[in-house]
Structure 1
Amino acid sequence: MSWTVYLSGEIHTDWREQIIEGCKAKNLPISFTSAVTNHDASDAAGDGLGEESSNFWRDHKSAKVNAIRTKTQIEKCDLAIVRFGDKYKQWNAAFDAGFCAALGKPYITLHSADIIHPLKEVDAAALAWAQTPQQVIEVLEYVVSAQ
């Protein structure tokens, strides 16, 4: 069986690449999908639909265009990894985790111990919590390879 894993959340570090490369090195049967990780492109996703008079409406329109991709990829994935970084608050990642929970889609959270409290509800619905990309790779290896 080939698995599809959706990578959600923080875009300012290389955690996605670490997981993808680590799984590739183990020859795991996983394909990865992700939200747009180019911040400027994501912010401008709705700009082709016309100029807006305020940032609220620009963001609103771009969020909806981005949701086409995000919603579709989460619905199609077998499992999601939801990363919360320390530097920025990833409200979109929390929303993705909630969407996964509502769909009954399994997800793993990836974040440091110092933000356990603000993520308690998100972690409560997750099937695992990892603190490093290497831990995620180990869980993925078990899930897709265990016999």
Structure 2
Amino acid sequence: MQLKVYLSGEIHTDWRDEIRAGVKAAGLDVRFSEPVTDHAASDDCGVAILGDEQDKFWHDHKGALLNSIRTRKGIEDADVVVVRFGDKYRQWNAAFDAGYAAALGKSLIVLHGAEHAHALKEVDAAAQAVAETPAQVVSLLRYVLTGALPRG
């Protein structure tokens, strides 16, 4: 069995690489997709393609609309959606992605530290699992694919 996993959320740490490496080391059949993780490209894609905007609101709006095409496709095609909430920024887009995935009935894994447990309690309640580390996400995916529990 292959799983299609969409990796959503914060883009300032290497959590995606950790999950990919763990999945590869475990020999799991997982295909990943994700949003554009180049922050500047994500912010400026709309004006770079469709033309400049003087008002920052419309600049951001164009980018958000264009990015939503990729985000919707990735979430809709996924078997499992992993949404990471980091420490550095408030990720409203990550919360939106988690809600969209939940509304579509997608299996949802939320990834965040203990310090965000209260703030994300409603998001966590919509998830099938809440992990604190990328290694836990790998173990969750291993269990889903093989039924194997973590070694140790």
Q: TM-score, normalised by structure 2?
A: 0.95
Query: What letter is aligned with 1:42?
Result: S
Structure 1 unaligned spans of 5+: none
Task: Report matched runs for 1:68-79 at 5 Å.
Answer: 68-79=69-80
CA distance in 1, matches of 2:146, 2:45: 38
RMSD: 0.9
After TM superposition, list the pairs within 5 Å mapping 1:107-146 onto structure 2. Answer: 107-146=108-147
Q: Quick check: 43-52 or 72-81, which moved more?
A: 43-52
The residue type equivalent to 2:66 in the other structure is V
CA distance in 2, matches of 1:134, 1:2: 19
Offset, 1:117: 1.1
In 2, the alpha carbon distance for the partners of 1:133 and 1:97 equals: 17
Deviations 1:77-119 (CA, angstroms, capped at 9, x unpaired)? 0001100001111111000000001101111000001111111
Query: Where does the alignment leave 5 or more consecutive residues of structure 2 unmatched?
Result: none
| Equivalent-residue separation in structure 2 for 1:74 and 1:120 (angstroms) | 21
In the aligned structure 2, how far is the partner of 1:55 from the partner of 1:42? 14
Distance in 1 (alpha carbons) for counterparts of 2:89 and 2:143: 31
- How many residues were matched structurally? 147
Matches of 1:19 and 1:55, distance apart in 2: 35
Matches within 5 A, 1:1-147: 1-47=1-47, 48-146=49-147
Q: Provide the rounded CA distance (Å) in 2 between the counterparts of 1:35 and 1:101.
A: 18
